[in-house]
Chain A
Amino acid sequence: MKKNLNSKIAAIVAVLVIFVYGIFGVPSGLSGKALLESMTRHIHLGLDLRGGAHLILQVVVSEAVSAETDNTVARIQQDLKAANLTFSQIYKPDPAKPEVIRIEGTNPAQASAVRSLLDNKYSGEYDVTGGGGDGSFAVTMKPLVETALEEKTVQQAIETIRDRVDTLGVSEPVIQEYGLGKDEILVELPGISDLDRVKAIIQSTARLEIHAVVGGPYQDEQAALGSVGGTLPPDEELVHGSGALATGSDADSVYVLQRVSIVAGSDFRSADPGTDQNGLRNVRFTLTNEAGDKFYDYTSANVGHSMAVVLGGRVKEVANIKSAIRDSGEITGSFSADEVEILSKMLRTGALPASLNYLEDRTVGASLGADSIKEGVTAAVVGVLVVMAFMLVYYKSSGINADLALFLNLVILLGFMGFSGATLTLPGIAGVILTIGMGVDSNVLIFERIREEIRAGKAASAAVDQGFAHAWTTIFDTHVTTIVSAGILFLFGTGPVKGFAVTLTFGLAANLFTAVYVSRVIFEAHLNRMKPGQMVSI
């Protein structure tokens, strides 16, 4: 009985083509060099292979909490004074617990008034306790609020660092939250080995400020000076524009600004992109309380005037004051969606929200990476050749079958790496090598079983059928257990080790397809061509 295998063979060829595309894409040529180049473009190499810096930073989130409660201390002082409630001091008793504020020496007769003021204005974010006979209160930031603030701080730090790393021109940097602690950030910079420079840039405090515009834009400094009568007054300064935002045309224009800022970099509490009532894109920002009061005084006195957003010493944006603004406002202009995004990010990330600690730093030199690739590939090639040669010797023609399956297994594994964008690390190459060894296990299981069936006197096609059927249970169980351990490795591992778990898992999953399905089809194609009564060569 002959089986029609055309559709199965077509399926296998289709899989082969798809995954070869995953490895190479459409290569620019068929020479070895062109193929290698398109391969490295599709398969991401880890830092240990291409060289680069790997940093783990810790954001000192307690600083952000402390800054927030400092603000609150000031607000409570103002509020109590405004309500004519007396107190001796408001302070934070324990530097290790920046979320706790104490109010002492209030008049016991006014306790309920103080209490209701605190409850009214602060109970959204703080737990208020005390108010007994000693006239003291404890105002503690709610744990949920504190966690949210800490998370926001880490996100802000990530955005700031990303912006700064972008100025380095590193290709494919990785900047993300890191799994081990809530306050940690992973930074991976391929191709960078001069860490000192990187650290200087990451930790620099580029400032974002809003200044009052005295005049501008002018063509050049000459024209700007001319407008103020030739000499610059001591309280004013010349600032160049940058063409990155809004108009894109004022790169070289010069503004005359008030030297003292209206809003400093540390005054922003948040900023988000949005749209105004006319559907125009804008950036909504919130200032801290003190800054808000200052800003209100200024803007109410200067409706119709312009303010300039200055980042890193360059004018990013000039806005018209339409009405008095207190602690929240919006910057409107002819923005594109991207520009709104960038501007609000700038407002948020102008300064690092808290300082950073370095927890870990690994730098792999490019030469070591190149050596690792060479050694890994050598080991892989030797491993594959030894295994393939052995299969040919031990299983004769059926060895070809196993070798084809093994080859397809490798193609699928590498193609998968290309499609998924997973990173190939040095341990990852080891995972590929191990896949070869373990992948061939499925073939051995099946072939040994087929031999047993043949010895038991079964005809060729029955022996193949039985061999596959019996081996399948075992193959399934063994793959599941290995994938379980690789999966756990993926969850717990970091960097290079994760790369190992990825290739091992992909490799074994692909092996289920190649060793069972593909190998079966090859056997059946072979059986179709055999004369009745002939035995398979195994």
Chain B
Amino acid sequence: MELFHGVNVDWLGKKWYFLGFSLIFSIAGIVSMGVHWAKIGSPVPLGVDFRGGTQIQVQFQQTPDANLIRQATEAAGVRDAKIQTYGGGGTNEMLISLPEQTNEAALDAGRTQIENALRTHYNNPFTVRNVQVVGPTVGHQLERQAGLATLYSLLGMLIYLWFRFQLIYGVAAVVAVFHDTLITVGIFALLDKEISLTVIAAILTLVGYSMNDTIVVFDRIRENLRLSRREPLPDLVNRSINQTLSRTVLTSGLTFLTVLSLYIFGGQVLNGFSFALVVGILIGTYSSIAVAAPMLVAWQEWRSGSGKGVALPAAKRSKA
């Protein structure tokens, strides 16, 4: 069985469509982040690990009623509790959240209060499935670290690609990956989904994964550049994309299937994580074809336009 054999698509001819598509998504994401910023002071809804505060996941024996729970907590003097159903409602699970505690010594009081309130004022036996109490210090440290980790990871790859290929390949790849990150986070903002620590892990994985796809295409461009130096660059890049298309689609497809399995069967805890991967793998695959490769061509055209020399560096010889 073979798919995509002998395809001959003029990818670069469609670069304006690609640009338009990427811009629409990026801008939609950025606008949505701006709206969130104005509303809640951060570009995306943050999970409790970044935001700080208390979050208790409770499973009741009978179908819980959010209003009764609110009455129970308020009767016990707990104000500002946010009460949501969790996991689609079929599991009788509720998520009860309290806003950030500024007093670190009293950090844990809210949890005990809520549990006691439910025990005394709400007649529905429950088990506590998960508790997260995060103080403001830890939250802010994590926020900073998540940003730094993403930044270092991009930087590390830029340097590696610079070393293995040429600087322009590294820049193109990093721009493509940044594009993926931006759109993925933008979609979280658009859908109002919380970004937690595991989502950051998923995004960092996407950085690596999208880079994979880009490198496969770049590797082929480099190889073809060595073999046929006369061919115009746009044709050569098109040919390289077409040659690797089968692999790109297969691999992304298979990885997408595994991640989809994770999204469907992996449970609520990993929901955000697997969602980020599902979205990111699609975008990452798209960007290696539609963003990274056209950038190489654009760069070369700009160079020749400004009279600084014509050829894209044929890249260092690969040894590994």
Q: Which residues of A contact B (CB under 8 A)?
A: 48, 56, 58, 180-181, 193, 195-196, 199, 357-365, 367-368, 371-372, 375-376, 378-380, 382-384, 386-387, 390, 393-394, 396, 426-427, 430, 433-434, 436-438, 440-441, 444-445, 448, 451-452, 470, 472-474, 476-478, 480-486, 488-489, 491-494, 496-497, 500-501, 504
Q: Which residues of B contact A (CB under 8 A)?
A: 1-2, 57, 59, 104-105, 107-108, 111-112, 127-135, 137-138, 141-142, 145-146, 148-149, 152-153, 156-157, 160-161, 164, 197-198, 200-201, 204-205, 207-209, 211-212, 215-216, 219-220, 223, 243-244, 246-247, 250-251, 254-259, 261-262, 264-267, 269-270, 273-274, 277, 318, 320
Contact of B257 among A371, A375, A387, A426 (CB under 8 A): A387
Q: Beyond the given A387-B257, A438-B255, could you list 14 further A-B residue pairs with CB under 8 A, ordered by the A residue number?
A: A196-B112, A358-B104, A361-B133, A365-B127, A380-B261, A383-B257, A430-B262, A434-B259, A441-B247, A484-B157, A485-B157, A485-B204, A489-B201, A496-B198
Q: Least Cβ distance of B315 to chain A in Å?
A: 11
Q: Closest 7 CB pairs between A and B?
A: A437-B255, A375-B267, A485-B208, A482-B208, A383-B258, A437-B258, A492-B149
CA distance A78 to B247 in the complex (A): 82
Complex contact A484–B160 (CB within 8 A): yes
Complex contact B254–A444 (CB within 8 A): yes
Q: Least Cβ distance of A121 to chain B in Å?
A: 37
Complex contact B131–A486 (CB within 8 A): no
Who on chain B is nearest to A504 by CB?
B205
CA distance A470 to B226 in the complex (A): 14
Known: A361-B111, A441-B251. Contact between A379 and B212, CB under 8 A?
no
Q: Least Cβ distance of B210 to chain A in Å?
A: 10
Complex contact A492–B266 (CB within 8 A): no
Known: A430-B270, A474-B216. Contact between A484 and B257, CB under 8 A?
no
Residue of B141, B152, B205 most packed against chain A (CB within 10 A): B205
Contact of A430 among B127, B133, B152, B274 (CB under 8 A): B274
Known: A358-B133, A383-B262. Contact between A481 and B257, CB under 8 A?
no
Which residues on the B side are within 8 Å of A383 (C-beta)?
257-258, 261-262
CA distance A196 to B131 in the complex (A): 13
Who on chain A is nearest to B141 by CB?
A180
- Between A and B, 14 residue pairs with Cβ closer than 8 Å are A58-B137, A372-B269, A382-B261, A387-B254, A437-B251, A437-B255, A437-B258, A444-B254, A478-B216, A481-B208, A481-B215, A482-B211, A492-B148, A497-B197
Which residues on the B side are within 8 Å of A437 (C-beta)?
251, 254-259
Complex contact A361–B107 (CB within 8 A): yes
Q: Least Cβ distance of A202 to chain B in Å?
A: 12
Q: Least Cβ distance of B251 to chain A in Å?
A: 4
Which residues on the A side are within 8 Å of B220 (C-beta)?
474
CA distance A361 to B131 in the complex (A): 7
Known: A199-B108, A430-B266. Contact between A387 and B258, CB under 8 A?
yes
Which residues on the B side are within 8 Å of A494 (C-beta)?
142, 197
Known: A193-B128, A427-B198, A485-B204. Contact between A360 and B258, CB under 8 A?
no
Who on chain A is nearest to B247 by CB?
A448
Contact of B1 among A360, A386, A393, A483 (CB under 8 A): A393
Known: A473-B320, A482-B211. Contact between A492 and B107, CB under 8 A?
no
CA distance A500 to B197 in the complex (A): 12
CA distance A48 to B269 in the complex (A): 10
Complex contact B205–A485 (CB within 8 A): yes
Contact of A433 among B156, B161, B201, B258 (CB under 8 A): B258
Complex contact A58–B197 (CB within 8 A): no
Which residues on the B side are within 8 Å of A477 (C-beta)?
164, 215, 219, 320
Which residues on the B side are within 8 Å of A378 (C-beta)?
265-266
Who on chain B is nearest to A180 by CB?
B141
Which residues on the B side are within 8 Å of A497 (C-beta)?
197-198, 200-201
Complex contact A365–B129 (CB within 8 A): yes
Complex contact B258–A386 (CB within 8 A): yes
Q: Least Cβ distance of A260 to chain B in Å?
A: 33
CA distance A451 to B129 in the complex (A): 52
Who on chain B is nearest to A386 by CB?
B257
Complex contact B138–A359 (CB within 8 A): yes
Which residues on the A side are within 8 Å of B246 (C-beta)?
448
Complex contact B133–A473 (CB within 8 A): no
Which residues on the A side are within 8 Å of B1 (C-beta)?
393-394, 396
Which residues on the A side are within 8 Å of B200 (C-beta)?
497
CA distance A358 to B134 in the complex (A): 9
CA distance A396 to B1 in the complex (A): 8
Known: A480-B160, A486-B205, A489-B204. Contact between A433 and B261, CB under 8 A?
yes
Which residues on the A side are within 8 Å of B153 (C-beta)?
484-485, 488-489
Q: Least Cβ distance of B45 to chain A in Å?
A: 19
Which residues on the B side are within 8 Å of A440 (C-beta)?
251, 254-255
CA distance A422 to B298 in the complex (A): 46
Complex contact B130–A368 (CB within 8 A): yes
CA distance A472 to B219 in the complex (A): 11
Which residues on the B side are within 8 Å of A361 (C-beta)?
107-108, 111, 131-134
CA distance A437 to B212 in the complex (A): 12
Who on chain B is nearest to A364 by CB?
B130
Complex contact A379–B264 (CB within 8 A): yes
CA distance A58 to B134 in the complex (A): 13
Which residues on the B side are within 8 Å of A358 (C-beta)?
104, 107-108, 133, 135
Who on chain B is nearest to A451 by CB?
B2
Who on chain B is nearest to A54 by CB?
B132
Q: Least Cβ distance of B224 to chain A in Å?
A: 12
